[in-house]
Structure 1
Amino acid sequence: MLAYSSALSAAPALATAGSCRALRALSTSVASMEAVSLGDSDIPLLLRLSSRPWGASASLSKAEVQAAVGPSPPKRITVVRDAFASFDQPQRPLKQLVRPLGPFSVAVAAALASQPEHRAVVDTYSLAPGGDTYQLEEGPGSVAADLITFLRRHKQRVSLVPDVAAADLQGATPVVAAKKGVRQSSNEVLMVAPTAFGFNEQAAQDNSFMHAAAKPGEGGNALTRQVLREFAGLHHALTQVAGVKVNLFEHNLSHGTPDACFPNNWFSTHPKGEAAGGVTEPTLVFYPMKCPNRAAERREDIKKVLAAKGYSRVYDMSVEEDNKKYFEGTGVLVIDRVNGVVYVDISERADRSLAEEWTHKMGYKELVAFRSTDLRGKSVYHTNVMMAIGTGVAIVCADSVKDPKERQHLLSSLRRTHEVVEISLAQMDALCGNALELEDGRGLPVMAMSTQAYNAFTEDQRRVMRRHVADLVHAPIDTLERVGGGGVRCTLAEIF
């Protein structure tokens, strides 16, 4: 049974107006007496006590537990505490923090993950022999454990949502994803360290975000080393801070691939069940690249590593290079993997016919196509520069889409399923749109971006994003952004 119970519901009605003060007092002391069952007898019952505990207790009386859960208390309970609330703040009702969704799935208020002062901790107790008291358990995770960590340890799939008590919660994308077993974001990526990075003249022809610099081996070695220092900081933030698994490769001058650190353009991966079931088997896709030295990034050694991950289907679009038709991976594809909608900014690197073919062959329900331009009036070379999609939040520079009908269609499609953060053309120039939601080491969504992008977002915009993700992970990669014309999202190729 997945349920809440509350001692307040059993309290006698106080009918007279003169009883208002008594009702307020009752609410303060009793409203917190709640219990939440996660539907499995092996998982302790989540519990709020009648009065705020000021730490774990060596033991609890059975009567105190019965006041919250009724005459038949379980063998194990887990008491939830607001450890970072001041002495005069009331306990938050459990129904504002967690909500069971189904077997091994629970919605959790995003603030518990994204705002340290809102974290909740838990203490776990077992009914002692004789059955009169509950004894505090010993061992890791028994005392002052993080609530979300507790849920994950008990195999619960955690969906972060802004409002756990929302009436329309069942239709929210994070909840839909949990029910269908579909993930928008991955905990694993492939990256290529910019060990032979340099200004790419071929790519600069239609990428207005790039700024010329010396090439490696031609006075540009200092540039390469600077970019590597920045990249190492990004790698550290992802792996050591966020807990993302990174498959890391390098490249040499002999590869002839100055932009190799942007691997998301030449391949993508897709698990079975993606796109509301449209993807019917694990799929690896290779893409046609406009620039010859970018096509060379499809190295056989990397392709063999990808193939070893067990994709039963390979969809190779790279043959379209012979027809001078290009479609550069998740640079041009911004994918709503849960709802089966794909967004494509049509450009020299995003052929519309290939966008339509991809949508059909990958089993996606809808293609939202449009054209966008930057501050300089030039075509935006990749969709992922002007927009990003997470599980519950989307970022978009709608002002870059000049056609009113296309702009309205884009926004209405996003708003059907996501809370939307609209960014300005100047913010797009700071690569605010070039963000990517990943799963951290706890299985929670985080939004990865550059420090330049993070600083360019307003505090209100960051607050909206934190309603849906556990953290905003960022690192400074200013040189890579200025010379390479791509941000953090461009450096990350998701592995599903």
Structure 2
Amino acid sequence: MNQTTNSILMIRPVAFRMNEQTAVNNYYQKVLDGLSPESVNAKAQEEFDTFVNKLRMVGVDVTVIDDTLEPSTPDSIFPNNWISFHENGDVVLYPMFAENRRLERRDDILDVLEDKGFQISDELTDYTSAEEDGFYLEGTGSIVLDRENGKAYCALSPRADEELFIEFCEDFEFTPVIFEAFQTVDGERKLIYHTNVMMCIADTFAVICADCIDDKKERKMVLDSLKADQKEIILISEDQMNNFAGNMLELVGSDERRYLIMSASAHKSLTKKQIAQLEEHITILSSSLDTIEACGGGSARCMMAEIFLPKNE
């Protein structure tokens, strides 16, 4: 399987705001004082449009779908949590922790992709019934895939259930790599809500905040797994992770050139040495996502659902 793709799905927000239902365990979210909901959404749209333009300018195929005002889906800008698209034509739907995030699931998106020539299997793989029993697994937020090496990494949390994750790995023939990752919140160590804020796996390297894996055996196990697959490991600090330096994604642009996509805040947080390490492998592309990061508690990687579906000739 290919690790990277040229095609992504992005959802343009129409009523973006801080989602009170996700803030209970997403400690990155903040209230922006003095800004009306309309101003917050306008800023988010501006950041979104600039980001999409930058991606398209380097040759990334971006399918943009406009969100709808009804139902209210403040986090629709992060589609990778509820859907994923695979090389064999499979589409997977995931169970979501927040009730209002479940409303983001839309059949019409599949119609748009088929109209663009993407091939989709007749049967969806649907784990969403787990919501009824209070179990969740939020797509490639909860799961960081090393497709080439057949491994799936998951930091367990209220949004990443271990049994569901193992079921996903069995269904898609991935070897599970399971651990817990923490961040300091008001002096307490609390579980990180999504694996993709603390690690990113690219073709030839991995960016990871190893310090947030408090259990030393688990930390060694994760790092040994990455080393075994010949990934150069680029370590980031918890402070850099808090600036979304773990929330990156490798994409392919024009002429097969590879880009590491991240936010401006993530880029600014990196040291010269880390940037030099990355640039030995890849070209960095960053864009300002300050409003989206503050209100949504997610960043560049969360905004992009990779499309690996086969395409009609």
| 2:14 aligned partner | 195
Q: Is the 8 A contact 1:269 1:283 kept in 2?
A: yes
Q: Which amino acid aligns with 2:134?
A: K
| 1:261 aligned partner | 77
| 1:354 aligned partner | 164
Distance 1:265 1:448, change over 3 A: same
SS of 1:454's partner is helix
Unaligned runs of 5+ in 2: 309-313
| Seq. identity, % | 37
SS of 2:250's partner is strand
Q: In 1, Cα distance between the equivalents of 2:190 and 2:134? A: 21
Q: In 2, Cα distance between the equivalents of 1:213 and 1:494? A: 30
Instruction: Tell me how far 1:215 sits from its aligned partner.
Output: 12
Q: In 2, Cα distance between the equivalents of 1:253 and 1:215? A: 23
- Alignment counterpart, residue 180 of structure 2, candidates 371, 395, 400: 371
Within-5 A mapping of 1:16-415: 182-213=1-32, 219-240=36-57, 242-271=58-87, 281-306=88-113, 309-312=118-121, 313-364=123-174, 366-376=175-185, 377-415=189-227
Q: Is the 8 A contact 1:198 1:213 kept in 2?
A: no
SS of 2:158's partner is coil
Q: In 2, Cα distance between the equivalents of 1:374 and 1:421? A: 19
Q: Which amino acid aligns with 2:103?
A: A
- Computed over aligned residues only, the root mean square deviation of the Cα atoms, in angstroms, reads 1.5
For residues 379-410 of structure 1, what are the alpha-carbon distances to aligned partners after superposition, in whole Å with 9 as ceiling and x for unaligned?
A: 10000000000000100000001011111101
Q: Is the 8 A contact 1:430 1:453 kept in 2?
A: yes
SS of 2:255's partner is coil
Q: Highest Rg: 1 or 2?
A: 1
Q: In 1, Cα distance between the equivalents of 2:152 and 2:114? A: 25
Q: In 1, Cα distance between the equivalents of 2:226 and 2:158? A: 24
Q: Is the 8 A contact 1:375 1:426 kept in 2?
A: no
Instruction: Tell me how far 1:253 sits from its aligned partner.
Output: 2.6
Distance 1:253 1:293, change over 3 A: same
Q: Which amino acid aligns with 2:286?
A: H
Q: Is the 8 A contact 2:226 2:233 kept in 1?
A: yes
Q: In 2, Cα distance between the equivalents of 1:250 and 1:213? A: 24
- Alignment counterpart, residue 475 of structure 1, candidates 283, 287, 296: 287
Query: TM-score with structure 2 length normalisation?
Result: 0.93
| 1:169 aligned partner | none
Q: Is the 8 A contact 1:481 1:487 kept in 2?
A: yes
Q: In 1, Cα distance between the equivalents of 2:108 and 2:86? A: 20
Structure with greater contact order relative to length (CA < 8 Å, sep ≥ 6): 2
Instruction: Tell me how far 1:464 sits from its aligned partner.
Output: 1.2
Distance 1:215 1:354, change over 3 A: farther
For residues 132-177 of structure 1, what are the alpha-carbon distances to aligned partners after superposition, in whole Å with 9 as ceiling and x for unaligned?
A: xxxxxxxxxxxxxxxxxxxxxxxxxxxxxxxxxxxxxxxxxxxxxx
- Alignment counterpart, residue 450 of structure 1, candidates 244, 263, 267: 263
Q: In 1, Cα distance between the equivalents of 2:111 and 2:131? A: 21
Q: Is the 8 A contact 1:214 1:220 kept in 2?
A: no
Q: In 2, Cα distance between the equivalents of 1:398 and 1:247? A: 34
* Mean CA deviation greater in 206-215 or 316-325: 206-215
